[in-house]
Amino acid sequence: MSVKVTVVNHPVAAEALTHLRDQNSSNQFFRAEMRRLSLVVIAEALRDVPTTKVRVTTPLAETDGIKISQRPVLVPILRAGLGMLPAAMELLPDADIAVVGVQRDEQTHQPSEYVAKLPSRLDGRHCIVLDPMLATGGSLEYGCKLLAARGAPQPITIACVLAAPEGIAYLEKSGMDLHIVTASIDERLNENAFIVPGLGDAGDRQFGPPH
């Protein structure tokens, strides 16, 4: 079992990430830039999605083309992952959508599930997990294990905006094959398990504080 990490190297992604990091970006602007960055990250995450050859007729001739073999499954980790979902749906309009709600205890930093709406079986279904922040890795491990238990083929793809070295190291011990695609590997986690330099709380900055 192994964890592969791909860091997206693209000026559009770098600019969008800069805007996301800026503490002065409004919630509205933050959401827009999250979508823009997600398009680049998720497109890279789909580079190895299974495809099938097809024939297509243009106005001038027949030629070869491809289609994605089976409907992928998009799995946003609530609530921050919802900000990546519009871009993913734009790239994969035929995809199915499952949701996993995992919240982190602010004292122990351990994940706990509060909702999981998933197909009973995911055999042969390419799953793309959406979560902007790979911090401790606990929530993403929890979500990916739910998918693996339902037969999701591995490696399971994780699309995120930022990753902390500690989170990557944690997932390397998960016993799963995973492919993490991110726009940046940041320096570290602070004492509150937030990514530094990071961009703050991705959920709050997109949707406002929960209280």
pLDDT tens-place string over residues 139-174: 899 999 999 999 999 999 999 999 999 999 999 999
Which residues participate in catalysis according to the annotation?
A: 104, 108, 201, 204
Checking if the pLDDT of 102 tops 80, the result is no
- Residue 28 structural domain: 3-207
Amino acid 19 reads H
Checking if the pLDDT of 197 tops 90, the result is yes
Place of tokens 């602007």: 29
Q: What CATH number has the domain bearing residue 81?
A: 3.40.50.2020
Task: Report long-range pairs for 43-50 (Cβ below 8 Å, ≥24 apart).
Answer: 43/91, 44/6, 44/8, 44/181, 45/6, 45/128, 45/157, 45/158, 45/159, 45/179, 45/181, 46/72, 46/91, 46/92, 46/128, 46/157, 48/179, 49/126, 50/126
Over range 121-150, report the average pLDDT. Answer: 93
> What are 99's two structure tokens?
């949701």
Task: Report long-range pairs for 19-26 (Cβ below 8 Å, ≥24 apart).
Answer: 20/161, 20/199, 20/205, 21/197, 21/198, 21/199, 23/200, 25/205
Q: What is the DSSP letter of 191?
A: T
pTM for this entry = 0.91
Whether 148 contacts 176, CB under 8 Å = yes
Number of domains in the chain: 1
pLDDT at 71: 87
Banded pLDDT at 108 (limits 50, 70, 90) = low
Whether 74 contacts 88, CB under 8 Å = yes
Give the containing element (helix H, strand E) for 162: strand 162-163
Over range 40-52, report the average pLDDT. Answer: 94
Over range 31-44, report the average pLDDT. Answer: 96
Over range 53-70, report the average pLDDT. Answer: 95
Nearest to 100 by CA among 113, 87, 84: 113
